[in-house]
Amino acid sequence: MSIQNDKVNERDFIDFLLRLFFYKKTFIAFLILFVGLGVFYNIYYNASYKFKVNVHVIDKSTLSPIINFMNEIQDDNFYKTDSSYAVTSNISSFIVYKDFKFEICGLLKTSIVDHNFFNNMADIYMKSSDVRMSLDRDQVAKDFRAMIGIKPAGELCTSYRMSGDLEKINFLHSEFLMIVNRYISKEIKLRMEILNNVKISSLDLIISSFKQEDENEEYFRLKNKREILKKRIIPKTNFNFFKYNLYEVRKTMGSIFIYVFSIFLAVFSYVVFVLMSDLREQLKLRQ
């Protein structure tokens, strides 16, 4: 009995390493098993892909016509000369580039909660292939809504993150920026039209309040401004509103990570196996 106790007391780390070496064939079996499971999972179940795109608003020079248009509408000193339209007040006191940039960023961030945005995306996706035409539009829009998210972007305007099946991810990788830009273009144009029409309607109300005997210089100035607004051509919005960094499509869970994790599980399982085997032998020696 004392000899057995001496064997127990004399055990050290070297003995444990020797035991690990002794069961090396067991380690190989664990390694083959877990790496095989990793390969199987990567081929048949790791079907989710992802990519991201960072978005910046375009430079001030490109947006100036739109900013000036909005400011001119709001300028009470707006008048018409013999040869051109002009403003006499400082239009920068109304909307500046920084404000307009912030508004565009807001539209980009709220696009992912707009049902029309995803319905339009579903329409484009379904029309891109005859096979997809039979798909349910609402379901396709719902799938895209679940695939797209936004992450904090620091100094960027916004950062979109996409993840999902390969077919839809490839579609988003090639078409998403175009869809977003078309959405922004439509929204900005609509806002300019609304702003212009609201201003014309307010001038109509003011002008109609004048009685014939009250028609004065102010009355004719307002009528003149109304005619100018009616003739104003809304600036074009068919250009890119932002610059971007588009990243490549890759698997959501990288293959290297899966294989490294499989090896880790094999090593961990092997060490646990050896420890349990050693524990069992020590218990026998203590009996």
CA distance 117 to 126: 14
pLDDT of 283: 76
In the predicted model, is pLDDT for residue 85 greater than 60? Answer: no
| Residue 77 banded pLDDT, cuts 50, 70, 90 | low
Q: What is the pLDDT of residues 119-153, one digit of tens each?
A: 999 999 999 887 788 899 999 999 999 999 998 77
In the predicted model, is pLDDT for residue 86 greater than 80? Answer: no
Bigger pLDDT: 229 vs 179: 179
Main-chain phi, psi angles of 50, to 5 degrees: -150, 160
Q: Where are the domains of the chain?
A: 1-45+253-264+272-287, 47-251
In the predicted model, is pLDDT for residue 87 greater than 50? Answer: no
pLDDT of 141: 94
Parallel, antiparallel or unpaired: strands 85-86 and 250-251: unpaired
The pLDDT mean for the chain works out to: 82
Q: 10: burial class by Cβ within 10 Å (0-12, 13-18, 19+)?
A: exposed
109: left (phi over 0), alpha (psi -120 to 50) or beta: alpha
Q: Model pTM greater than 0.75?
A: no
Domain 47-251 architecture: 2-Layer Sandwich (3.30)
Bigger pLDDT: 84 vs 34: 34
Question: What is the DSSP secondary structure assignment for residue 233, as one 8-state letter?
Answer: P
Q: What is the pLDDT of residues 187-227, one digit of tens each?
A: 999 999 988 888 888 888 888 887 766 667 777 888 888 88
Question: What is the DSSP secondary structure assignment for residue 244, as one 8-state letter?
Answer: E
**Structure tokens, 198:** 């609201």
